Chain A
Amino acid sequence: MTAVGATAPFVRRRLPAHVRRKRLLLAIANHSVLIASAIAFLAPFAFIVLTALMTNEQALSSRLWPEPFAWHNFVDVFREAPVWRWALNTLEYSVLATLGLLLSSIPVAYALARIRFRGSNVMFMIVLVALMLPPQVSVVPLYVMWSKVHLVGTLWPVIIPNWFGDAFSIFLLRQFFLTIPEEYLDAARVDGLGELRVLTNVVVRLAKPAIAAVALFSFLYTFNDFFLPLLYTGENPHHWPLQIGLAQFRSLHQVQWNLTMAATLLVMAPVIVVFFLAQKAFVEGVTLTGVKG
């Protein structure tokens, strides 16, 4: 990206003073707008944190700075509502869905990327269509089906579909598998490995970054998911994941804003921590989603 300036065979002439001054002013203006916007982007976080640390009277006043800091809010949140219960439900959803999704999507993506069979293109088109379809379109028949097998009220209707492959993950993994040189796979085949062993011994190892990205996206998706869990567990608080619990937190217990903001912060925290720990996998995933397509 910097090659243009670096390899040019001539030395740039110094720009005239008025041009330089104009550029400096532009750069200052640019940075000022950026910094002002950045402050505006951080402000909601700041307000949430400050309110989470206020006493109830303070949260109801128009003052912005907590005085004294009410750290015990974070303890009270757990006393007000079964937050641990909700967190366990979210964990169950996240782990079971992500594992199932990886086990089912990896072979499908491999088959679509590497094995030519009659109708493989049609299959890929079906995956793409599934990707575009709004979930609201299929949700009614699916709900009817789950109610027939008496699983409405549990999290199984949102977990089980992941065991049969997920369109987005299949798409993403296929894109990555296509970049693995065919020679590697042929070498393994010459050594006498069957397709399944080629997949588990060679492809999976080479595709670790892509698999990590898919797992990460799946974690984020299940952690944030609201519509489908609301549909299936809305009337059964025992199975609520964190997001449903948080949405009902305030009205359910008539609790105050300060505790609500403390709960909000607790629900935001895991995602932000995971982001900073897994930034590399993130970048990998975002580039894979087709920006470079």
Chain B
Amino acid sequence: MAVFLSLNHYDLLSSPRWVGLANYRYLFNVDPQVWTAVRNTLWLIAILVPLQVVFALGIAMMLARARRGVGALRTIFYLPALAPPVAATLGFVYILNPATGPVNSLLGHLGITGPLWFQDPAWAKPSLVLLGLWGIGNTMVIFLAAVLEVPQHLYESAEIDGADWFQRLRWVTLPSISPVILFAVVLGVIQALQYFTQAYVAANIASGQASQAADVTASSLGYPQDSTLFYPVLLYQHGFTDYQMGYASALSVLLLVVSFAVTLVIVLNSRRWVHHAAGAVR
């Protein structure tokens, strides 16, 4: 159905008109925003996803070693993951607002001039990364369960062999939990490919656009300067603010192909580093 629509010109009002591959030609050769959106989404996959995985793993490993207050600490690290994405984004846009936001106020007390965060094209995506790191609770809980299940005798024998802290991490912990890491990476990539709500809300609020009820959309998408124009945002813009259904379908077909390819590459590639020994975390 999406493929059929993508070969038509269709604006919902008049009936679909067959245009062959024209939508795809426009997508690949003409539309400059497509490449901005693809670059921004790739940025999420290359920066946000690995940071989230490493950060969640770091917290989980520290929690696994902690002796007291584990329950309370785990709840604290998990809680932000529960916050509705719209609410969390609103909170961060306020906290990071350059004029009166608490973060820049605190930085000011330290004599540092804080960045413009969501107002600056160079800082908008890093601001979204901070928001993303705040919400790693789910991944962290899964990692914690996996780390706690690594058989203790493996550490003991590694220690007897004279392995230091880093070697134990590299040769015991990471191989034992590699299936869970794979799961987190695949999930993270799938979510990065769908990243919409936070980008939409951040752009809308940060731009301060006084949008009317009848026109809640359009002009603020991607603010500032298309730096938060991710692929799903672009699709939304074409499909549901401009009602170019044919073209939006072409964009969605490309998204389907890319999601499938990326997931396949990760899963095939993982055979080399994911460890499926008997007794490993399954």
B102 touches A47 (CB 8 A): yes
Q: Which residues of B contact A226 (CB under 8 A)?
A: 85-86, 196-197, 200-201
Chain A binding surface, main DSSP class: helix
Count B interface residues, CB 8 Å: 80
Contact B87 A264 (CB under 8 A): yes
B49 within 8 A of A: no
Tell me the minimal C-beta distance from B154 to chain A in angstroms: 11
Question: Which residue of B65, B216, B232 has the most chain A CB atoms within 10 A of its CB atom?
Answer: B216
Contacting pair B217 A136 (CB below 8 A): no
A4-B153, A34-B62, A251-B204 given as contacts; is B94 within 8 A of A260 (CB)?
A: yes
Do A30 and B66 touch (CB < 8 A)? Answer: yes
Judge whether A246 and B282 touch: CB under 8 Å: no
B21 contacts the other chain (CB 8 A) = no
> Which residue of chain A has the shortest Cβ distance to B232 in the bound complex?
A136
Say whether A227 contacts B196, CB under 8 Å: yes
Q: Is A103 an interface residue (CB 8 A)?
A: no
Is B79's CB under 8 angstroms from A147's CB? no
A140 and B256 contacting across the interface, CB-CB below 8 Å = no
CB contacts (< 8 Å) of A137 on chain B: these are 2, 252-253, 255-256, 259
Assembly CA distance A66 to B85 (angstroms): 26
- Picked from A45, A135, A140, A257, the residue with its CB within 8 Å of the CB of B94 is A257
Instruction: Tell me, yes or no, whether A17 is within 8 Å of chain B by CB.
Output: no
* B196 partner residues in chain A, CB cutoff 8 A: 136, 226-227
Contacts of B90 in A (CB 8 A): 246-247, 250, 260-261, 264
Residues of A within 8 A of B59 (CB): 34, 37
**Cα distance A47–B79 when bound, in Å?**
15
Once bound together, how far apart are the Cα atoms of A134 and B257, in whole Å?
11
Docked pose: A47 CA to B204 CA in angstroms? 21
Contact indicator B194/A136 (Cβ below 8 Å): yes
Contact B108 A62 (CB under 8 A): yes
A151–B77 alpha-carbon span in the complex (Å) = 41
| Given A34-B66, A248-B216, A272 and B82 contact (CB-CB distance below 8 Å) | yes
Please report the C-alpha to C-alpha distance between residue A261 and residue B87 in the assembled complex, in whole angstroms: 9
- In the complex, A138 Cα to B85 Cα: how many Å? 22
How many A-B contacts at CB < 8 Å in the complex?
200
Chain A residues whose CB sits within 8 angstroms of the CB of B106 once the complex forms: 64
Smallest Cβ-Cβ distance to A4: which chain B residue: B152
- CB of A179 within 8 Å of the partner chain: no
Q: Looking at the assembled complex, report how far the CB atom of B250 sits from the nearest CB atom of chain A, in whole angstroms.
A: 9
A34–chain B nearest beta-carbon distance, Å: 5
> Nearest residue in B to A286 (C-beta to C-beta)?
B141
> With A139-B252, A257-B94 known to touch, is A27 a contact of B67 (CB < 8 Å)?
yes
Q: In residues 12-40 of chain A, which contact B (Cβ within 8 Å)?
A: 27, 30-31, 33-35, 37-38
| B residues 149-192 touching A (CB-CB < 8 Å) | 149, 152-153, 180, 183, 190
> In the complex, which of the residues B95, B146, B208, B282 contacts A44, with contact meaning CB atoms closer than 8 Å?
B95
Shortest C-beta distance, A231 to chain B (Å), equals 6
Interface pair A144/B5, CB less than 8 Å apart: yes
A140 and B180 contacting across the interface, CB-CB below 8 Å: no
Min Cβ gap B72→A in Å is 8
Give complex CA distance A261, B94 in Å: 8
A-B contact pairs, 29 of them (CB 8 A): A41-B134, A42-B76, A44-B88, A47-B91, A47-B102, A48-B91, A64-B102, A132-B190, A134-B255, A134-B256, A136-B235, A138-B1, A139-B239, A140-B252, A226-B197, A231-B236, A243-B84, A243-B86, A246-B84, A246-B86, A247-B200, A251-B205, A260-B90, A260-B94, A264-B90, A268-B84, A286-B142, A287-B145, A291-B183
Given A62-B108, A140-B248, 9 more A-B residue pairs with CB atoms under 8 Å apart are: A1-B149, A47-B94, A137-B2, A138-B252, A223-B84, A226-B201, A251-B209, A286-B138, A286-B142
Where the two chains meet, the residues of B that have a C-beta atom closer than 8 Å to any C-beta of A are 1-2, 5, 10, 12, 59, 62-63, 65-69, 73, 76-77, 79-80, 82-88, 90-92, 94-95, 97, 100, 102, 105-106, 108, 134, 138, 141-142, 145-146, 148-149, 152-153, 180, 183, 190, 193-194, 196-197, 200-201, 204-205, 208-211, 213-214, 216-217, 232, 235-236, 239-240, 245, 248-249, 252-253, 255-256, 259, 263, 282
